[in-house]
A and B are shown apart, each in its own frame.
Chain A
Amino acid sequence: MSTETLMRVSNLKKYFPIRKGVLRRVAGHVKAVDDVSFQIRQGETLGMVGESGCGKSTTGRSIIRLIEPTAGSVKYRTAGQEEEITHFNKTQMKAFRQRVQMVFQDPFSSLDPRMSVRDTVSEPLFVHRMGSQKERTEQVKELLQTVGLSVTHLNRFPHQFSGGQRQRIGIARALALRPELIICDEAVSALDVSVQAQILNLLQDLQSEFGLTYMFIAHDLSVIDYISDRIVVMYLGKIVEVATKQQLYDNPSHPYTEALLGAIPIGEKRVGEGKRLLLGGTVPSPANPPPGCTFHTRCPYAADICRQKEPVLESVANSGDHQAACHFTTELELKSFYDFSQVDRSGA
């Protein structure tokens, strides 16, 4: 894996207006994504994790302008040169779409129920006027085989497939344009465990085969751990921690990350009662985030400074790869995942 940056996101913001009253006047904003900066490196899998409403999906869609970001810059490296995506016109955007594709969460709504597998998978080729109809069908057949489906499925419709098969169709569609970067938005969340493993393995194989770069958005920390190289943790529209997989699970540097690790179910009896860290309260509304550090309302370590001053994302001691947004990164001794999952097997 090279360390070359493929996509550089800086100060990205996406605010959704809240309209009220008869005149639909803007009464405020939901800050779905609030000043987010990160990079995606060539060939890596960047995991993005967070609870519902933390803005991870909005981030994924904003960086490829499926929804227009409110502010910020997204630079994408093409032929050694970084280009600003947010300034692209329609034609440039259409060309850019060939480079970055997306796999969606819901295997039921992400395929048009009225379109056969052939039409769905060849749609990208059709839109970009690639090849004749016959050539496109040939390519669809290859793609289906690549994702583990049979060519006999060509003329079937989505309702005739299981959730896992539909997700394969969605992956085939994303691969059709031979993209460099694929954004997987909760791509395995809706699948059964056994099928989820199939899809995760498939995604890994495709990555090594085609040299793909992934941005993998999920709420399940076990899945994120399995597939990612680096992980971005989001909370309430902001990035709270960026780390390699190893660093994140062994040595979390943000109390929220610690809480997430402590909440992962492990399916075994833990040692002692207090081993599991329980986070109080619920996520505040992104329309009205608390001042200072947005996590202070639930943070067990919150001090006065947290309620007043917003922490910035800074490198954690002597590691450029590890960043956290907390006033007490250096002071706190946070538990690792392994501290939480010490299990008692004596009873077995």
Chain B
Amino acid sequence: MTEPNRLVEVNDLEVVFDTVEGRTHAVNGVSFSMDAGETVGIVGESGCGKSVMSLAMLQLVPRPHGKIARGSIIYYQRGKAVEITKLNPTGKAMRALRGNEMAMIFQEPMTSLNPVYTIGEQIMEVLRLHQKMDNTRAKQRAIEMLEKVGVPDAAQRVEEYPHQFSGGMRQRAMIAMALSCTPNLLVADEPTTALDVTIEAQILELLAELQRDINMAVLFISHDLKVIGEIADRVIVMYAGWVVEEAMREDIFQNPQHPYTRSLLAAIPRIGRRERLVSIPGRVPSLSQLPPGCFFAPRCPAATDQCRREEPQVFTVNQGHTVKCWNYWDKEVQKTS
């Protein structure tokens, strides 16, 4: 039952890492889907697996310690289903997708820009590789792209090196590079976290604008619920490798069902609100030593014996809103049945 507009389907994905302390499950049975042109936000605290999730989308999980152990990621390339997890991460087919149809931007643009090449050369490289453009056309397109992302004097700055760009400008250059081949999917891993608040606002605005222009789907990963709320249509809340709640933005903010989502919302200081912040006791569990039952149970104010024993099922609240919590079952499902 494939939707015509479907772009990506992630099914029961599990990503594991082998470390000195043993095997850790960074992503633990995650399923979600994205439609073309949609913005999906993944939110969660450090160590919830959101960054690994974003790397897995492009088969970029660092080897040999990490690998996709289970599940599938299906990408619909012009209606044709491509099973990404089956592709060789360094093979031709994957490289043709990556950078061309799927692009990624990172938190720290300096790590993904090569300091010894000019910004222009790096954008041109992508274009030559994927679009087989010649030098003149590639350069023209690079300048066009830089103008599009709001780099002033693009024709001159295309000749400059990454260190000559400020943090915000570098992030713009990164976006220009990522979008130069008009990808269908952009994975953005904390793209504004390192930026100042005024620059962050600029970049968020820019992303939204470009997305409308080329009808690209964006998977936006952030630890900041408020930033996610500014940009995402749909929000996925992750905790210790699980998706604990998924819903449209309004539902997440107005009608959160999972105790973790609720606590997160109550823990954020909001301007003008004077009441004491609600904090979540304890800390995010270490992925190598997860508690039995629900991973959130040790910190959950509403945990029952069942929570401490059994992994919760995923329940549907209403269309497009799911929650992985036994309490929801107790409260709602039992009442009606």
Contacts and interface: CB of A to CB of B under 8 A. Distances in A.
A binds B: yes
B12 interface: no
Interface string B198-216: 1111101100000000000
Contacts of B116: none
Interface string B255-276: 0000000011011111111001
Given A265-B224, A265-B230, A259 B198 contact: yes
A194 B198 contact: no
Contacts of B311: none
Interface in B154-178: 166-169
A269 to B, nearest CB: 8
B329 interface: no
Contacts of B169: 282
Nearest to B252: A267
A272 interface: no
B225 A347 contact: no
A196 interface: yes
Contacts of A219: 196-197
A24 to B, nearest CB: 21
Contact of A192 (B46, B197, B272): B46
A163 B276 CA distance: 22
A265 B263 CA distance: 19
Contact of B269 (A222, A280, A345): A222
B229 A337 contact: no
Nearest to A265: B226
Given A222-B268, A338-B272, A263 B283 contact: no
Contact of B272 (A198, A225, A276): A225
B279 interface: yes
A267 B200 contact: no
A260 B45 contact: no
B167 to A, nearest CB: 8
By DSSP majority rule, is chain B's interface helix, strand, loop, or mixed?
A: helix
A347 B248 CA distance: 11
Nearest to B255: A348
B206 to A, nearest CB: 10
A223 B230 CA distance: 18
The number of chain B residues touching the other chain, given as a range, is 35 or more
B201 A263 contact: yes
Contacts of A165: 283
A278 B227 contact: no
A145 interface: no
Interface string A249-273: 1000000000110111111110000
Contacts of A260: 197-198
A196 B263 CA distance: 12
B253 interface: yes
A265 B254 contact: no
B280 interface: yes
Contact of A194 (B197, B200, B201, B264): B264
B271 A194 contact: no
A128 B146 CA distance: 58
A219 B196 CA distance: 8
B269 A200 contact: yes
A140 B251 CA distance: 46
B269 A226 contact: yes
A287 interface: no
A269 B250 CA distance: 9
B278 interface: yes
Nearest to A188: B269
A195 interface: yes
- Residue picked from B46, B254, B266, most chain A C-beta under 10 Å: B46
Given A267-B229, A337-B271, A164 B283 contact: yes
Contact of A198 (B168, B204, B228, B279): B279
Given A219-B196, A222-B271, A337-B271, A194 B279 contact: yes
A267 B228 contact: yes
A1 interface: no
B283 to A, nearest CB: 4
A280 B278 CA distance: 36
Contacts of B133: none
B199 A282 contact: yes
B317 interface: no
A221 interface: yes
26 contacts: A52-B167, A164-B283, A165-B283, A192-B45, A193-B267, A197-B267, A197-B280, A219-B197, A220-B197, A221-B271, A223-B269, A225-B271, A225-B272, A226-B269, A226-B273, A259-B198, A263-B197, A263-B198, A264-B271, A265-B201, A266-B229, A266-B230, A268-B229, A276-B201, A282-B167, A348-B253
The 3 A-B residue pairs whose C-beta atoms are closest, nearest first, are A267-B229, A226-B269, A348-B250
Given A192-B284, A198-B279, A264-B271, 15 more contacts: A193-B223, A197-B266, A197-B279, A200-B277, A201-B277, A220-B197, A222-B268, A222-B271, A226-B269, A226-B273, A265-B197, A265-B200, A265-B224, A267-B253, A279-B198
